[in-house]
Chains A and B, each alone.
Chain A
Amino acid sequence: MGDRKTMRRFRAIAALVLLALSGCATVEYVPTASRQPTHPVGFEDVMVTYVKPAKGYVVVGRIETKHCGAIDQATLLLRRRAAELGVDGVEEVFCARNGLVNAGNCAGNAFLWSTP
């Protein structure tokens, strides 16, 4: 009887681990300015940088990824979402390092160039 209980617990934990590991990644956009992009852009037209851009830009929102598990997956999602939104780039991206529990949790400021 005790064995069955242990097995059930084991199955439940394994199922939870699998769920947590397989594709529960989320990406969220929060607009923070009245000026917003209007058209989607190409994936490669979006600039992603860990520092501030060197020429004029306006921050229009914030993009965050969660439960990605790794930085490369997070930045891929971040760039895809930015392309869908139509922003010119995401600046000052900060990510939790790989190997940490919250690895791949990234956040950055979505921006539009001041002068196109």
Chain B
Amino acid sequence: MSMNDRRAYRSQLWFGALTAFGVMSTGCGALLGPDFHDVKSIPPNAGIVYIYRPSRFLGHDTATEVRADGVNVGYLFSSAYVPYYVTPGEHTFRAKNAVRINAVAGQTYYVKYTMKLGLVAGVPELTIETPTVGADEIRGCALLPGGYDGRDRI
């Protein structure tokens, strides 16, 4: 290999590395909104449901749709949460499975989204979390930018 060939090879390596860096810095990982904090106030005659996905390595690069009463509230990325206002009564939250909450005005509920091992790909699972565990786990999450909070339905 001549000197010129070596230079050309090195130069190509540098550009390859830079391009790869560019791709990784823009294309990977979800961009989230502000870190978790409680909603300013719960409107009268409404409850609040926090749907959150704790940070886990398993399936972190995939996001699936979560539906609240049939409406898409967003594609829940790892470390993301969506606050969702509900009227008193029964509400259904669905990813692959479904969970039901019988909401009471002024109460706070937590629905956890986790990714379980599947045969080919990860399978999303929703579970209702206790207020103590939910409030603790949601601390590491940030608001999902495109999330829908259902304020127009209360």
Interface residues of A (CB under 8 A from B): 3, 7, 10-11, 14, 17-18, 21-23, 43-44, 47-51, 53-55, 57, 69-73, 75-76, 78-79, 89, 93
For residue A37, give the distance in angstroms from its CB to the closest CB of chain B: 17
Residue-wise interface mask of B (88-111) relative to A, using a CB-CB cutoff of 8 A (1 in contact, 0 not):
000000000000000000000000
Q: Pick from A17, A51, A53, A75: contact of B146, CB below 8 A.
A: A75
Residues of chain A within 8 A (CB-CB) of B31 are 70, 72-73, 76
For residue B20, give the distance in angstroms from its CB to the closest CB of chain A: 10
B132 within 8 Å of A by Cβ? no
Q: Pick from A3, A69, A76: contact of B26, CB below 8 A.
A: A69
Residues of chain B within 8 A (CB-CB) of A57 are 152
A-B contact count (CB 8 A): 83
Residues of chain B within 8 A (CB-CB) of A47 are 148-149, 151-152
List 10 A–B pairs whose Cβ atoms lie within 8 Å, in order of A's numbering.
Answer: A21-B26, A22-B25, A44-B33, A49-B71, A69-B27, A70-B31, A71-B146, A72-B77, A73-B31, A76-B32
The reply to whether A17 and B19 form a contact with Cβ atoms under 8 Å apart is yes
Query: Chain B: interface residue count, which band?
Result: 20 to 34
The reply to whether B72 and A51 form a contact with Cβ atoms under 8 Å apart is yes
In the bound complex, what is the Cα–Cα distance between A41 and B153 (angstroms)? 20
The 10 A-B residue pairs with the shortest CB-CB distance, nearest first, are: A75-B146, A76-B145, A53-B152, A14-B15, A21-B22, A49-B148, A75-B145, A54-B152, A18-B22, A72-B30
The reply to whether A44 and B34 form a contact with Cβ atoms under 8 Å apart is yes
For residue A116, give the distance in angstroms from its CB to the closest CB of chain B: 12
Q: A7-B12, A11-B15, A22-B22 are in contact. List 8 more A-B contacts (CB 8 A).
A: A17-B19, A44-B143, A48-B148, A51-B71, A51-B72, A51-B148, A69-B26, A79-B145
